[in-house]
Structure 1
Amino acid sequence: MLRLIATSLCLRCQHVAALPSNLRPCATLSSAENQQTVEALYDLAVDIQKVRKLKGWVLHQCPAYTKEVADLLKDMGASGPIVARILAAHPEAVLCNPEQMQTQRDLWMSVCPSQRDLVGIIEKFPASFFTSSSHHDNQQNNIAYFQSLNLNKRIITKLMASAPQSFSRPVEQNEVMVRTLQQAYQELGGEEANMKLWLQKLLSQNPFVLLKRPEVLRQNLLFLRDRGFSTAELLRLLSNLRGFVTELNPDSMHRTLTYSQDTIGCSEAELRGIILKCPALLYYPESILAERFESLLSVGISMSQITETPNVLELTTQIVNYRIQRLKTLRYDVRTGSLDVLNGTKKDFEMSCGKLQLHRERPLFNPVAPLKVDG
């Protein structure tokens, strides 16, 4: 993902980055750094050594607009340390024309709740903001299109930040993919009244779904239908997989399903039930599943426990082993108890451990309560 985002540079940056290093006019050993740029970055407390190591070619370019870009960010409310972090992570920003950046700010503010929010986005996704001016019309058209779908502005902003390529390309390409998603939702029995919320959630959880080929979605749904999943179950998978169904292909799913069925020793109907509990099983490669099954079985966990709580297979072996050892200190035996306690985020797990700790320390009787005496 970082590699994809990094390609979204300003027009000048794209031109320079596209040249082989031996052909860049300012990237040879004989060329001198632009001292005005270096001094301006020093004044802003930017980590120059990091810039030299990762993107030293930027320091050789003329003209550069370091002060202007910094002033633009500060005008939006960015503090000095934030400006320094942004320019250290994405020094190409100093090569972007200030007028273009002002246009970018106006464009983003048409969907961003506040300038403070925009600064936060730029800090996390600088390449998405400092992009080519040649993409401006496409960005504008795509914003208008997603607004016409009545999507929440925060969702549109998130799409622009995390999947900028989908806004840099012609709006027609996004229209095709959105129509494909909407048609699939309706054909699988999704209610019209809930479609906007469903689409909004899908795009929020997996913005890159827009960049996939529409035919991939249909091929995968047809494959799963042939494996016996009902229309309602396919809709459930399409929703719960957060768009990852477009990351898959029939061959990989066939291998994974075959391996899972052979390992578990279940019928196809039983396997479908397990998949509905844990859709992630569809996209984990056989090698990863083999490692995770082996790790769970090696500590005495039974296959019936795994099939009852298959989401445990979403956790890495390292995380599972750590959590099992932690539970042992709380005298919880995963071989006889529910595996639900292993699941969830780190915060969820810590909360479960806290409850087990309280249960362990709670006295069996209240020592200060008066004893009941018969008579």
Structure 2
Amino acid sequence: MLRLIATSLCLRCQRATALPLHLRPCATLSSAENQQTVEALYDLSVDLQKVRKFKGWVLHQSPAYTKEVADMLKDMGASGSIIARILAVHPEAVLCPPEQMQAQRKLWMSVCPKQKELVGIIEKFPASFFTSSSHHDNQRNNIAYFQSLNLNKRIITKLMASAPQSFSRQVEQNEVMVRTLQQAYQELGGEEANMKTWLQKLLSQNPFVLLKPPEVLRQNLLFLREKGFNTAELLRLLSKLRGYVTELNPDSMRRTLAYSQDTMGCSETELRDMILNCPALLTYPDDILAERFESLLSAGISMSQIIETPSVLELTTQIVNYRIQRLSVHGYDVRTGSLEVLSGTKKDFEMSYGKLQLRRERPLFNPVAPLIGDD
């Protein structure tokens, strides 16, 4: 019996420890569900089964501000169905005091003044909006810093939504990473007049670049320089990798390059050209590349074709097989044709596929042309 009691207490302690830090001081955990919260969520048509399954602990908290959250979202233009979806996905929102929610609303509207757009952001990233009041000063300071860089408000809003950690931390940390990116851009020959646009694009495409140690960027650029990429090529890579150069490391890139060169039997110059045309190759580990090479070769595609169009290696085996099958219906043989039609995004492929289909179905004569008859 004593052992069971001790085990029960330990489990309860573990559960309490797992709660988000910013919710513990202002909420009390009860063994029974807070019926006011349950009834309020029910009245809002929130999926209580989903809440109980994934965030059940929220229903045991007191106090809760369900009505206040719903009223604020409704005042911002959110429909009942949107409010229900937000609270089903992020029920922790009901634990945020009204003054904290209003402070967040004011803060976010400084970069996203259109309430309809802000509601859309909250629907997609509720955890970014309903955050701890202890982060407000850091958020405010980071907003001011990115505004001082003359970044577009939409870019700042996207950063706040998709990478909230970068706005919750001290502004000095972001300043260091941004300076590192700017220095790398300038040292690689980037034009001062284009730097703001370049930085905006990079941050927009990979907001998490701010959370990486600056040393990682320097190490990766140094490694690539040692591999023979010149200054202009490094700038091109830094831009085309869309900030994902910070997700890499010299060891992983070394293995990927060695495996790729050994498998394709190409020269270092050919390999560099392939990387410049398809920088994503640097991001794939050996096992993924091995699977994709095998899939392409088993479909009758030659290694020379892959070298000529390396972007085809960005596709999963399932996508490759599906596209090959669709193309074959229209008589396109990937073994003899260009792989350009096979690679690219879904939109790119559908456009190419549509052209092939049109070419096959186009009539040999114009059926609506007037017939030439006797006068």
TM-score, with length taken from structure 1: 0.92
How many residues were matched structurally? 355
Deviation, 1:353, is 1.3
Paired letter, 1:63? P
Distance 1:370 1:94, change over 3 A: closer
SS in 2 for 1:321: helix
Q: Which runs of 5+ in 2 are unaligned?
A: 1-17
- The answer to whether 1:268 aligns with 2:268 is yes
Distance 1:104 1:9, change over 3 A: farther
Contact between 1:13 and 1:95, CA under 8 Å: does it hold in 2?
no
- The answer to whether 1:336 aligns with 2:336 is yes
CA distance in 2 between partners of 1:8 and 1:218 (Å): 37
Within-5 A mapping of 1:79-90: 79-90=79-90
Contact between 1:8 and 1:164, CA under 8 Å: does it hold in 2?
no
Q: Which runs of 5+ in 1 are unaligned?
A: 1-6, 17-23
- Tell me which of the two structures has the higher relative contact order, counting C-alpha pairs closer than 8 angstroms and 6 or more residues apart: 1
Contact between 2:41 and 2:66, CA under 8 Å: does it hold in 1?
yes
Deviation, 1:9, is 6.0
Deviation, 1:119, is 0.3
Query: Could you say which residue in structure 2 is the equivalent of 1:354?
Result: 354
Paired letter, 1:40? A
Deviations 1:179-219 (A, max 9, x none): 00000000000000000000000000000000000000000
Query: Could you say which residue in structure 2 is the equivalent of 1:204?
Result: 204
Deviations 1:57-87 (A, max 9, x none): 1001110000000000001000000000000
CA distance in 2 between partners of 1:230 and 1:13 (Å): 53
TM-score, with length taken from structure 2: 0.92
Deviation, 1:363, is 2.3
Query: Could you say which residue in structure 2 is the equivalent of 1:168?
Result: 168
CA distance in 2 between partners of 1:140 and 1:266 (Å): 52
CA distance in 1 between partners of 2:300 and 2:33 (Å): 63
- The answer to whether 1:136 aligns with 2:147 is no
1:11 maps to which of 11, 22, 26: 22
Paired letter, 1:302? S
- The answer to whether 1:237 aligns with 2:237 is yes
Deviation, 1:351, is 1.8
CA RMSD of aligned residues (A): 1.8
Query: Could you say which residue in structure 1 is the equivalent of 2:283?
Result: 283
Deviation, 1:12, is 1.5
Query: Could you say which residue in structure 2 is the equivalent of 1:177?
Result: 177
CA distance in 1 between partners of 2:180 and 2:138 (Å): 21
CA distance in 2 between partners of 1:49 and 1:55 (Å): 10
Contact between 1:111 and 1:157, CA under 8 Å: does it hold in 2?
yes
Deviation, 1:10, is 7.8
CA distance in 1 between partners of 2:263 and 2:45 (Å): 57
Paired letter, 2:258? T
Query: Could you say which residue in structure 1 is the equivalent of 2:73?
Result: 73
Query: Could you say which residue in structure 1 is the equivalent of 2:345?
Result: 345
CA distance in 2 between partners of 1:283 and 1:63 (Å): 47
Query: Could you say which residue in structure 2 is the equivalent of 1:309?
Result: 309
CA distance in 1 between partners of 2:198 and 2:134 (Å): 32
SS in 2 for 1:210: helix
Distance 1:367 1:55, change over 3 A: closer
Distance 1:317 1:13, change over 3 A: farther
Contact between 1:320 and 1:342, CA under 8 Å: does it hold in 2?
yes
